[in-house]
Structure formats: C-alpha cells, structure tokens
Amino acid sequence: MAVRDHDGIVLDKFNGLYDRGDVDTVPKDHFTDSLNLKHISTSSFGTRDGVDLSQDVVVPLSNVRRFYNYPTPTGQTLIVLCIDAITGDGEIFHVVDSGLVYGPILTLAGMEDFVFIPYAGRAYISPIGFYTITDLKLGDLNIEKGLDNEFLYVYAGDGTPARKAAGVALSGSLTIFNGIAGATDPGFHLFGFVAETDTGYLTPPGAITGFTTAAASSVSFTTVPTSGSPTITKRHLVSTKVITNYNGNTTGYQFFFVPNATINNNIDNFLLNISFFDADLLEDASHLLDNYSEIPAGATLALYHNRLILGATFDDPSIYLVSALGEPEAIDQISGLLVVPPDGNPLTNGAELRDIWYGFKRTKTVAFVDNGDVPSSWPMTFIDNALGASVHGITTVLDSGSASVDALIIANYAGIILFNGTYIAPELSWKVQNLWATQDRNEFRKIQMVNDPVTQQILCIIPDQRVLCGNYLNGMNAKNIRWEPWGFHRNINTICIVNISDIILGMDLL
C-alpha cells in the first residue's frame, strides 16, 4: 500500500549477498549482509543445514587439516590428514566408513598439508611443506612446495602403511654360466634383473654383470639378488645384444627384456637354462635406467592422458614431473619434465581441460599439449600472465576430477572464475568482490572448493575459514549466481563430497 505517496516495494525473490562497492548500489533483491542462509529453489531460501559428526566411534579424528574423497573398488572413502596434538607431526588416516579407520598409514614431521590422486584403486600421496620467501615489493610471502627431503608415497588401500612410490634397482652381481644345450647368439652381453613391485612399477636394471655366451648353449644365472622390500613380486631378466667393443660402461648400452625369463617371486635366487637370440630382444628396458627411484614430494598432483603429473618439488618448484603413459611411478629424470619459466614463485596447481594440460602459478597460467612424443618435447603456451590458481583452488566435481560443463572453476586473487581456456569476465564472485578483497592473500593456501552439480552449489573454504556457498540454480554466471557465507563454531579447514551429495567438513579440535 502507498505510504506518504510512496508505493511499497514487493520483494518476490532474494538473490543473496551483495558485497560490492557502496551500500547504496545494492540491488533491492539482495542483502547487504547475510549469514548461514541457503537457497532452496530458484526463489525460496532458509537457514543452512546443520552439521553432525561423520564418525560413529568413541574417539573421532580431530585436528583435521585436509581430506579428499578416495574412491576404492568397494566404495567411497576418505584420506585424512590430522596434526598430532602432542608431537605436531602430520598423520594420514584412511577412513573407510563411519566406524572403520585405518592408520595412521603415514606419519611425517613437518607435513602440514598434502595433495592426493587416486589411481587404479591406489592412493598417491605427496606431502606439502609451508615456506616463506621475501618479495622486494610485497615483503614476506607464504609459498607451498613439496616437503623438503620427502617423497611421493603410494597406499594400497588395505590398511597397510603407505610406502615410497617407485623403487631402487637390485644390488649385487650375478653368477652366470652356460647351461644345457640351447640357442644363443655368441658374444659378450650385459645381463641384469629388473624388479617389479606390487603396483606394477619396474625398477631400473640392477646387478648388471657381463658374460660371453656360447652359440650352442643356453645361459643360466645364480646369486640373483632378492629385494629387502616386501612389495617386490617379480624379477625380470634383461640383456643387451652382443657388444663387440665393450667400454666398461654398464649403463651405456641398450637393454631389452628377455622373453620368458621371469622369476615370479622375491625368494628364488636362480634362473636356469634360458635360450634367446638377439633378434628376440624387442621390448626395450633402457628407459628404466633414467627413472626416479625415489620421486620427490611436490605441491601439485593430477592426471593427464593417463599420466601422473607432480609439480613444485622443493628443489625445482617451477618443474612438473610427468610419468610414463599408464605407469604413474615411472618418471624419467630427463625426458619426463615440463619446465615453466622460473619467476620466484612455485607452481601451485594443474588440471586437464579439453585435452590440454593447464599449469598454474599464483599469478600465471600456461598450457602444454601432448604431441605424442616424450613430455619434455611438449610445446608450452602462455595463457595469462596475471591470473593463476591457489594450491587447492581448482574446484573438484563430486568425487571425480576438476572439469564441469567443459570448464574449470578456479579461485585466485581476482575471485572465483570460470576458465574454459581463458578466464571468463566478470568473475563468478563479482557480487561479493568486497568480501573476496578483504581475504588475506598470504592465506590462500586455505582455499578449497567443491562443486555439487546435483544441488547446483559451489562450496568454497575462504581464507578466513568460513564457507562461501554459491548457488547456481538460476545460472552459473556473475549475474544469477547467489552467494551466501556460512559460519561454524570452529574454523573450517577442508571440504569434500562423498556419495554424490554428502558434504563432509573438517575442522580443528572440538
């Protein structure tokens, strides 16, 4: 009704928080301040859902710093990092369900965060360390790199402790002699054995020993070394072809797997009466000599074209390490490198989109394209020299990867932005620019985001450790998305989605 010649304003919809510019510019269908509201439909809203303990045990995990959805062959589980209240060590647990917890499966001093990727039912875990650099203009800046003197770990998912990924070559030497009558090209060969782990990783050739074979004899091996690691399941014989002028360099020649010459255990120390011709040596094993036997820890971890890509190691923070195709633990130290020009800032993230690998620093975005050759030959293109991503600042979609509707949702200094090969302006968080601008840039490591396309919500932990919820029922664009901050009785450290749309939050000690 009219009051003093003014018509009433009918509010038939509510479009969330508007925290941008001056309060006088706030649209009438937005609030200048709101907290703990949830948009239920395209027009209605109410209070956000409450929270309860996700663990039904006497002593639930506490001091939770980071977790991820870990899909296994038997269901959705969690990989969880907690900080021990007494020692301060980082401890990783495997939460199978509300009542079953394995671990700690990995305990490391100085591990304050970690990155994770599932692969073939296994969990690959890389510990992150927090460090400080001094910028001449900005002063001290927090950065994240792989934890110093630490490595990439692999966990089998069965409660046994995680172990270092990859593996070292067998040591020792072989006793070699001519066996029973057979057929072998006569001449000097180098022989060795490649060990195979329970994850399928093949170590570099080890126990390399020279021997001159005879034409009418097979060749036999004793004193074949075993490994002290219980993860070794097989050992494969490798050999060079005949070497006419041996120069004494045991690793300077091409090795091949000898057909039908495998010891299918880690116990027997002999392999007898093996016959082969040099023409039978087809499967190359020489590339194994250049693989990392211990893969240094990094601050980024993702998959691209069925290759594991790890970035921001402590010593090489501007380099991605790229595994062999289908072999996540086989990373060549020469040809498995993607180098982003160093600028004093480490790599922070990486993701695949539209068959392209995008690499990120805090204020830089580059692209690499798999050309079918070794990774070091992949061409690089600069995409943006001002915008990048934070360490956990690429939204995960449900329990899968990063892309949704052919785009990435990225958090950086400018806000929360859609990225489809270029950053789409205005940013999704355009309406809450003031809120975003007040966040401490030195604490962007605390950002973590998930996208729930079922309820059509983006949930982002912001540096002040509240949750910023973006409801896009009305459209995923700067105009129609509806933002609401959620506060809780404790600071929120981490978030993930399990079982399609169950939201799990991690926080400090209750």
Report percent pLDDT > 70 for the chain. Answer: 95
State the average pLDDT for the chain: 93
d(CA 320, CA 338): 5
The pLDDT of residue 52: 86
pLDDT at 403 over 90: no
pLDDT band at 1 (very low <50, low <70, confident <90, very high): low
Residue range 133-159: mean pLDDT, rounded: 89
pLDDT at 491 over 90: yes
The pLDDT of residue 35: 94
Structure tokens at 395: 């939204």
pLDDT band at 3 (very low <50, low <70, confident <90, very high): low
Closest listed residue to residue 277, CA positions, set 253, 304, 255, 259: 259
Structure tokens at 37: 């509201």
Partner residues linked to 263 by β-bridges: 235
d(CA 248, CA 253): 10
The pLDDT of residue 402: 55
The pLDDT of residue 312: 97
Amino acid letter, 102: Y
First CA to last CA distance, the chain: 51
pLDDT at 464 over 70: yes
pLDDT band at 13 (very low <50, low <70, confident <90, very high): confident
The pLDDT of residue 400: 58
Which residues, in sequence order, are CB contacts of 421 under 8 Å at separation 6+? 353, 354, 356, 367, 383
pLDDT band at 404 (very low <50, low <70, confident <90, very high): low
d(CA 263, CA 68): 38
d(CA 30, CA 478): 14
Closest listed residue to residue 240, CA positions, set 221, 201, 213, 202: 213
Give the pLDDT confidence of 183-208 residue by residue, as tens digits. Answer: 999 999 999 999 999 999 999 999 99
Q: Report helix, strand or coil for 375.
A: helix
| pTM exceeds 0.85 | yes
Residue range 166-192: mean pLDDT, rounded: 95
What would you report as the CA-atom Rg of the chain, rounded to the nearest whole angstrom? 28
pLDDT band at 75 (very low <50, low <70, confident <90, very high): confident
d(CA 91, CA 88): 9
Residue range 227-249: mean pLDDT, rounded: 94
pLDDT band at 117 (very low <50, low <70, confident <90, very high): very high
Q: Which of the 8 DSSP states describes residue 288?
A: G
Q: Tell me whether strands 467-471 and 37-39 are parallel, antiparallel or unpaired.
A: unpaired
The pLDDT of residue 59: 80
pLDDT band at 454 (very low <50, low <70, confident <90, very high): confident
Long-range contacts of range 384-387, CB-CB < 8 Å, 24 or more positions apart? Answer: 384/422, 384/423, 387/363, 387/412, 387/413, 387/414, 387/417, 387/423
More confident residue, 473 or 499: 473
Q: Do you know the residue count of the chain?
A: 510
Structure tokens at 291: 């693989």
pLDDT at 85 over 60: yes
d(CA 82, CA 66): 7
Q: Which of the 8 DSSP states describes residue 394?
A: B
Amino acid letter, 74: T
d(CA 85, CA 59): 14
Long-range contacts of range 244-249, CB-CB < 8 Å, 24 or more positions apart? Answer: 244/187, 244/188, 246/188, 246/210
Q: 10 Å Cβ neighbour count for 507?
A: 18
Task: Please provide the DSSP assignment of 480-504 as one string.
Answer: T-EEEEE--SS-EEEEEEETTTEEE
Amino acid letter, 136: L
The pLDDT of residue 74: 85
Give the pLDDT confidence of 340-350 residue by residue, as tens digits. Answer: 999 989 999 99
pLDDT at 132 over 60: yes
The pLDDT of residue 93: 97
Which residues, in sequence order, are CB contacts of 455 under 8 Å at separation 6+? 501
Closest listed residue to residue 450, CA positions, set 396, 404, 506: 396
Give the pLDDT confidence of 388-397 residue by residue, as tens digits. Answer: 999 999 998 8
pLDDT band at 502 (very low <50, low <70, confident <90, very high): confident
The pLDDT of residue 54: 84
| Sequence ranges of the domains in the chain | 1-51+393-411+430-510, 175-290
Residues 161, 166, 72, 506, CA torsion sign: positive
Give the pLDDT confidence of 275-311 residue by residue, as tens digits. Answer: 999 999 999 999 899 999 999 999 999 999 999 999 9
Amino acid letter, 155: Y
More confident residue, 153 or 25: 153
